[in-house]
Amino acid sequence: MESPYRWVIVAAGGLLGCVAVGAMFSLPVFLRPMAQDTGWSVTGISTAMTIGFLAMAAASMVWGGLSDRFGPRPVVLTGAVTLAVSLTLASRASSLVEFQLLFGLLVGAATAAVFAPMMACVTGWFETQRGLAVSLVSAGMGMAPMTMAPLAAWLVTDHGWRSAMLIIAGIAAALMIPAALLVRRPPVLEAGAAQAATDATALGMTVAEALRSPQFVTLMLANFFCCATHSGPIFHTVTYAVTCGIPMVAAVSIYSVEGLAGMFGRIGFGLAGDRFGAQRILVAGLLAQAFAVLAYAFVGQLGGFYAVAVLVGFIYAGTMPLYALIIRENFPLRMMGTIIGGTAMAGSLGMSTGPVLGGLIYDNFGSYAPMYVASWGLGLAATLILATFRPIPAKAPIQAAVA
């Protein structure tokens, strides 16, 4: 379990997540140029992102289950190839419906092939420094706003959104396919299912029992409301800043500042979770997130946006790795992909609410303020739900499993 190769897994997971998440979240940068170029509505283009999150939700448990059965490498490799192909096809879309299906269904499903399998894989490689490892992978995903978003903004300004999306497809293929080939199944699972069973808190638990457990249901609901809280603010803040008179490049930099703060938040919250308990830190983080997103409703200048972006990015990004830590502490390693995939499914459903609801709010009211107020309420709900979580009681080791 102390093999140096475990850090290669962390690096590969961070890179895969950065490119996949960055490719999907380039759509907010393309939103206004696409609407101006094609005449498609902001709500219509935003719906592609909502479809993408729904596709992620539908695919997360499937990819997670496949990674439990066949290992993470074939799953993330399939996702890498699918992502590059789907971005290429989406860049050529001739109608809004075609774009919604290509970008939404295919890009969303491909992105889901990275998160749950890689998080499950990394938790299996680490017994010590697990919080740090998971946080570093999550931090890699958080690099997307600082890397892919500025790249997308530069490309769309100089080359138009179609060429920009096509170039991003090429970058995804060039980086993700080699990284996917570095991924390996955790050694304890390679050694056999009997050995893997000995690490579990709930040794006798089946997958069906795990999926019906109150602990799993609570984590799903908490992640749904957690992601619904920051979905709209993440997706629409760039456009909100532009409507406040801030130039596009400067508005995108708000997204990058949020991502930079998120890197520190992921690592900080992960280390705090190791030291003080993942659930305790996550509850505090969810409460802080609710009030942080509300603060966006009260800013209109670039400096104010930067200040809130630092706060929001640090908190919302910091909370995300903690779900994997709680899952690893309560469920058997042999089903990590499925359980993490299930919570990721709930999170993706939560994320799907923000783009379309934010677009509808703006189209109908000409203001994003009600969206931030609604996000605050969702954040309070997430806090209350997670506060009810009770760990699965530990069981004595099964001697036959280690015979």
Phi-psi region at 393: left, alpha or beta (left = phi > 0; alpha = psi -120 to 50):
beta
Kindly tell me if the per-residue pLDDT of 69 is higher than 50: yes
Instruction: Give per-residue pLDDT as tens, 116-162.
Output: 889 888 888 887 777 778 888 887 777 776 778 778 888 888 888 89
Please state, in angstroms and rounded to a whole number, the distance separating the CA atoms of residues 159 and 153: 10
Calculate the average pLDDT of the chain.
84
Confidence of residue 199 (pLDDT cuts 50, 70, 90): very low
| CB-based contacts of 3, cutoff 8 Å, min separation 6 | 125, 187
Superfamily name with CATH number, domain 5-402: MFS general substrate transporter like domains (1.20.1250.20)
Phi-psi region at 159: left, alpha or beta (left = phi > 0; alpha = psi -120 to 50):
alpha
Please state, in angstroms and rounded to a whole number, the distance separating the CA atoms of residues 271 and 223: 20
Please state, in angstroms and rounded to a whole number, the distance separating the CA atoms of residues 48 and 42: 10
**What residue spans define the domains of the chain?**
5-402
Q: How much is the pLDDT for 288?
A: 95
Q: How much is the pLDDT for 285?
A: 94
Instruction: Give per-residue pLDDT as tens, 342-399.
Output: 888 898 788 878 877 887 888 887 788 889 999 999 999 999 999 999 987 765 443 3
Please state, in angstroms and rounded to a whole number, the distance separating the CA atoms of residues 164 and 352: 24
| CB-count burial class (<10 Å; 0-12, 13-18, 19+) for 130 | buried
Q: How much is the pLDDT for 360?
A: 83
Q: How much is the pLDDT for 168?
A: 92
Tokens of 71: 């290992």
Instruction: Give per-residue pLDDT as tens, 267-279.
Output: 888 888 878 888 8
Sign (positive/negative) of CA torsion 252, 30, 16, 100?
positive
Q: Are 164 and 30 in contact (CB under 8 A)?
A: yes
Tokens of 154: 């530069």
Among 186-190, 302-306, 357-361, which stretch is predicted with the lowest mean pLDDT? 186-190
Q: How much is the pLDDT for 356?
A: 75
| CB-based contacts of 7, cutoff 8 Å, min separation 6 | none
Kindly tell me if the per-residue pLDDT of 260 is higher than 70: yes
Comparing CA positions, the residue from 234, 170, 193 lying closest to residue 371 is: 234
Comparing CA positions, the residue from 121, 117, 115, 113 lying closest to residue 186 is: 121
In this structure, the number of other CB atoms found within 10 A of the CB of residue 295 comes to: 17
Q: How much is the pLDDT for 395?
A: 56
HEC-encoded secondary structure of 69-128: HHCHHHHHHHHHHHHHHHHHHHHCCCCHHHHHHHHHHHHHHHHHHHHHHHHHHHHHHCCC
Q: How much is the pLDDT for 194?
A: 41
Q: Are 122 and 133 in contact (CB under 8 A)?
A: yes
Q: How much is the pLDDT for 106?
A: 92
Tokens of 106: 């295919």
Comparing CA positions, the residue from 342, 331, 322, 343 lying closest to residue 393 is: 331
Output DSSP code: residue 184: -
Rg of the chain in Å (alpha carbons): 20
How many residues comprise the chain?
403
| CB-based contacts of 124, cutoff 8 Å, min separation 6 | 185, 186, 188, 189, 333, 336
Kindly tell me if the per-residue pLDDT of 254 is higher than 90: no
Tokens 């102390």 found at: 2
Instruction: Give per-residue pLDDT as tens, 4-35.
Output: 888 899 999 999 989 998 888 888 788 888 88
Helix axes 108-125, 5-24, angle to 10 degrees: 160
Q: How much is the pLDDT for 145?
A: 67
Tokens of 402: 């280690």
Sign (positive/negative) of CA torsion 79, 85, 91, 92?
negative
Q: Are 333 and 186 in contact (CB under 8 A)?
A: yes
Q: Which helix (H) or strand (E) holds 226?
A: helix 214-243
Kindly tell me if the per-residue pLDDT of 303 is higher than 80: yes
Among 91-95, 167-171, 307-311, which stretch is predicted with the lowest mean pLDDT? 91-95
